[in-house]
Amino acid sequence: MDYQKILEEIAEEVKPLLHKGKVADYIPALSEVDPEHFAFSITLSDGTQYHVGDSQTLFSIQSISKVFTFILSLKAYGTHMYDRIGVEPSGNPFNSLVQLEYEHGKPRNPFINAGAVNVTDALVSHYGSCEITISEVLRFIRSIADDESIDFSDRVAASEMEHGFRNMALANLMKSFNNFDNCVEEVVKTYFKHCAIEMNTDMLSRAMLFLSNYGKDPINGKTYITPQQVKRVNAVMLTCGHYDASGDFAFHVGLPGKSGVGGGIVAVIPDVMGIAVWSPGLNAQGNSLVGTKALELFTTKTGLSIF
Ligand code: GLN
């Protein structure tokens, strides 16, 4: 298959849509990003990489980090994690509070904000401090992406903390139901730091490779998680990775994937490749508008969806 040609075709076809989405502005530091950016990278199991557009430009991975923290929590707690978070799609916006109230402080899944803040809290308990938690999250991401330069942006994390009332509210509500161990403010700050990690699509598509290969990185040979855990992570990406547009993403794209409000989306084709796409303009559900379309074109042109 001529992947390079396919990526170039897609870049041309999505051009007219580039100004249609809306860049996230509830985090002021993110609102400055140029909406015209577009990048699409794939990394095959043998390490071959294809890319088009701004695949070297770093962006804020935001909720894509929730995949990595969920994985670390499974490594730390195994199936006990499911005592504190569920695995059902929420059908609600990513930052919604409503279900937490009538589900007694147990978040629906690890990929909505409530679930991810809860996962961060579990990691802080496991590692013993917020400082160690963020450095372990970075260590893990640097390993799977094979890139030691990866870091978070202090500026983006601080900007989000200044406006972080909703995430503080989610954490406080979970604390009131005894489903939260540590200091709310410190955990939420740590959550914002891992959301503020900056990567490009080349790095992210490389980082997804172990999830397309039963938990073992086919290039460096390291085993990160078990095949059973990969099955769970990919299943939750498919069913919950795009909030209240998860069904729509499965319907149009047909791959396990996870989005972030920075405009990035990662996806996995089991046995074949890791994928990352970036375009900062978002649709109404907070997922990259052009990114979603580009992935739909990719699975249509290649015939490579999990269905
Ligand atoms: N840091 C963002 C928040 O908590 C992440 C949201 C997202 O990417 N959907 O609101």
Sheet holding 151-152, edge to edge: 59-60, 197-199, 151-152
Alpha helices in 30-164 (DSSP H): 65-77, 98-102, 113-127, 130-145, 154-162
Q: Which of 195, 220, 235 is the last residue of a domain?
A: 195
Per residue in 12-58, pLDDT (tens digit) is: 999 999 999 999 999 999 999 999 999 999 999 999 999 999 999 99
| Separation between Cα atoms, residue 42 and residue 52, nearest integer Å | 9
pLDDT given at position 298:
98
Q: Which two tokens stand for residue 307?
A: 């269905």
What is the rounded average pLDDT of the residues 60-76? Answer: 98
Which protein residue's CA is at the shortest distance from atom 2 of ligand 1? Answer: 62
Cβ distance 282 to 289 under 8 Å? yes
Per residue in 164-210, pLDDT (tens digit) is: 999 999 999 999 999 999 999 999 999 999 999 999 999 999 999 99
pLDDT given at position 156:
97
Catalytic status, residue 63: yes
Residues 131 and 107 in one domain: yes
Q: Is residue 307 situated within a structural domain?
A: no
Q: Which two tokens stand for residue 274?
A: 């890791």
CA pseudo-torsion sign 218, 222, 226, 229:
negative
Per residue in 273-295, pLDDT (tens digit) is: 999 999 999 999 999 999 999 99
Residue 209 sits in a domain whose CATH number is 3.40.710.10
Q: Which of 161, 178, 195 is the last residue of a domain?
A: 195
Catalytic status, residue 261: yes
Q: Which of 195, 228, 250 is the last residue of a domain?
A: 195
Query: How many Cα atoms are found within 13 Å in the side-chain-facing hemisphere of 45?
Result: 13
- The residue segments making up the domain with residue 148 are 65-195
User: What pairs with residue 258 in β-bridges?
Assistant: 266
pLDDT given at position 65:
98
| Cβ neighbour number for residue 208 with a 10 Å cutoff | 29
243 carries a ligand binding annotation = yes
Number of domains the chain is built from: 2
User: Ligand 1 centre from 202 Cα, in Å?
Assistant: 22
Q: Is residue 306 situated within a structural domain?
A: no
Q: Is residue 22 situated within a structural domain?
A: yes
Min mean pLDDT across 26-30, 112-116, 144-148, 156-160 is at: 26-30
CA pseudo-torsion sign 238, 239, 244, 247:
positive
pLDDT given at position 277:
98
